[in-house]
Amino acid sequence: MVRIHHFQSRLGTLSTICLVVLLLAACSPTRKRHFDPSKVAFTATSNPLLDTQIYPSLLLALGQSETSPRTSNLAPFTLSLTAPSNNAVLRVVIDSSSLNYVTILQEILPMRGETYTFTPAVKWKYERLRHIRTPQRIDLTLTCYINDEEVDVKNLHLTARPTTECPLSFSHNGNVVDTRWLFAAYVNEDHPYIDQILTDILTQGTVSRFTGYQTGRTTDVDQQVFAVWHYALSQGLTYSSITCTSNPSPHANVQHIRLFDQVYNSRQANCVDACVFFASILRKIGLQPIIFVEPCHAYLGYYTDRKKKNIHLIETTITSWVNYPQIIKNMGEGGRITDSDLNNLAKYISPEQLESYQQGNMSTDQLLLAVSQSLFDKAQQYNVETFTENRQHFADSAAITFQQLDIEQLRTLVQPIN
């Protein structure tokens, strides 16, 4: 009975203590807010040019580049607020999402009553951005703190576009921003497929090695480019005019561009796809390509010398004029090209070459190589006239529908996106 009484006494004491604590808490004043959210006016605003869209192609291409006049107005969103006191410490926390890690922006706001605007450097999950193939919703939560006091919370609802969606330009309230330079981001000289491609080219025997500009001879440069050309024909690279996207923004002019491995695997390319595909391989072997962009078309060029004094051109869509894999598939038991296919090829070879093949003095590989050379010559001449006519436009920075994209120069700004 004594033990029970002692226990009851301790229980009573504990209850009394708890009651006192609760009373003290109830009597304590509510923690005072130092900053009025309505006066701080914290806002998170989507870039009106991008119209609530996020473009992985832009984020990946510019992820490691310093801000430049070309890119300073292309951030997905900005933050703004009014300083509630002198030298206030601002901290904005952007919560993690499917496409970004937790990101913290911290700044000093020197003058009370001054409105400040910031563009946060979001920590994007670049590997996930690379693999977006359909539009994805992304919701960002942003919490504003002033001097460690939580002041306000904002939410941004954005849509991440597919990585294959390349914005050509943005326009809003008369402000036009050209982004055709982003084509350079689809040139990927580091793609792992290229090593095997170069091995296959050497196996074809059109060149014995890749020397870039080492010999100083234009003919050697042209021969290396021809080797890449003949490889593309041997793989059956065909023209496909797919350019449209599902982008609903009235402010964006966009185009679908296939990534390097998509061109390689599908053997299909539009004019831009083929340009970036060829340019990727040329960059790998030490040559310097240029993509010439005109209204509704693009074609490839390359410098024939290290000092970049001379340019040769290639119309890459000419690869679709023949289909070597189909021709080989159609061959008869004797391993000879059918009469129908031979008639189609005859327009690209001389009568002497045709006769030599028909008499068995030329192999199928030799005939196809001759066709490749003929088409290569045509591809080099195809855009000479239009290039000459528009040369002044390429040199005019105000003529935004004409672009001369030197990939080597752009690499200081634009990195490969895949």
**The most confident of 2-11, 19-28, 69-78, by mean pLDDT:** 69-78
d(CA 357, CA 385): 34
In the three-class reduction of DSSP (H, G, I as helix; E, B as strand; rest coil), residue 355 is classed as helix
Among 110, 142, 163, where does a domain finish? Answer: 163
**Per-residue pLDDT, 332:** 80
Phi, psi of 138 (to 5 degrees): -135, 125
Q: How large is the average pLDDT for residues 289-310?
A: 95
Specify whether 319 is located in the same domain as 182. yes
Give 65's pLDDT tier (boundaries 50, 70, 90).
low
Residue 17 lies in a domain: no
**Per-residue pLDDT, 176:** 86
d(CA 80, CA 173): 21
Average the pLDDT over each of 10-14, 55-59, 200-204, 300-304 and give the range with the smallest value.
Answer: 10-14
pLDDT at 111 over 90: yes
pLDDT at 380 over 60: yes
Q: How large is the average pLDDT for residues 6-15?
A: 48
Specify whether 96 is located in the same domain as 193. no
pLDDT tens-place string over residues 229-238: 999 999 999 9
Specify whether 184 is located in the same domain as 129. no
**Per-residue pLDDT, 11:** 43
Specify whether 272 is located in the same domain as 391. yes
Specify whether 194 is located in the same domain as 105. no
Specify whether 199 is located in the same domain as 319. yes
Residue for token pair 């996207």: 245
Residue 288 lies in a domain: yes
Specify whether 115 is located in the same domain as 79. yes
pLDDT at 17 over 60: no
d(CA 405, CA 356): 43
HSE at residue 54, side-chain half, CA atoms within 13 A, is 25
Number of domains into which the chain is organized: 2
**Per-residue pLDDT, 296:** 85
pLDDT tens-place string over residues 212-253: 999 999 999 999 999 999 999 999 999 987 666 777 678 889
Specify whether 212 is located in the same domain as 342. yes
Report if pTM > 0.85. yes
The residue segments making up the domain with residue 41 are 37-163
CATH of the domain at 149: 2.60.40
Handedness of CA 382, 197, 181, 296 (dihedral sign): positive
Specify whether 351 is located in the same domain as 211. yes
- How crowded is residue 154: how many other Cβ atoms within 10 Å of its Cβ? 16
Q: What is the pLDDT of the chain when averaged over all its residues?
A: 90
In the three-class reduction of DSSP (H, G, I as helix; E, B as strand; rest coil), residue 393 is classed as helix
Q: How large is the average pLDDT for residues 8-22?
A: 47
Residue 30 lies in a domain: no
**Per-residue pLDDT, 386:** 94
pLDDT at 9 over 50: no
Among 129, 163, 197, where does a domain finish? Answer: 163
pLDDT tens-place string over residues 133-191: 999 999 999 999 999 999 999 999 999 999 999 999 998 888 888 999 999 999 999 99
Query: What are the E-state strand segments in 240-327?
Result: 252-256, 268-269, 289-294, 297-303, 311-314
Specify whether 357 is located in the same domain as 313. yes
Residue 214 lies in a domain: yes
Strands 238-239 and 268-269, by their bridges, are parallel
DSSP secondary structure of 198-241: HHHHHHHTS-S---TTTT--HHHHHHHHHHHHHHHHHTT-EE--
**Per-residue pLDDT, 272:** 94
Residue 26 lies in a domain: no
Residue 15 lies in a domain: no
**Per-residue pLDDT, 64:** 60
Total H helices, total E strands in the chain: 14, 17
Cβ proximity of 293 and 282 under 8 Å: no
Average the pLDDT over each of 26-35, 81-90, 308-317, 357-366 and give the range with the smallest value.
Answer: 26-35
Cβ proximity of 242 and 256 under 8 Å: yes
Spatial CA neighbour of 71 closest among 346, 412, 305, 330:
412
Residue 302 lies in a domain: yes
Specify whether 149 is located in the same domain as 172. no
Residue 174 lies in a domain: yes
Among 100, 135, 163, where does a domain finish? Answer: 163
Give 350's pLDDT tier (boundaries 50, 70, 90).
very high
pLDDT at 25 over 50: no
Specify whether 256 is located in the same domain as 365. yes
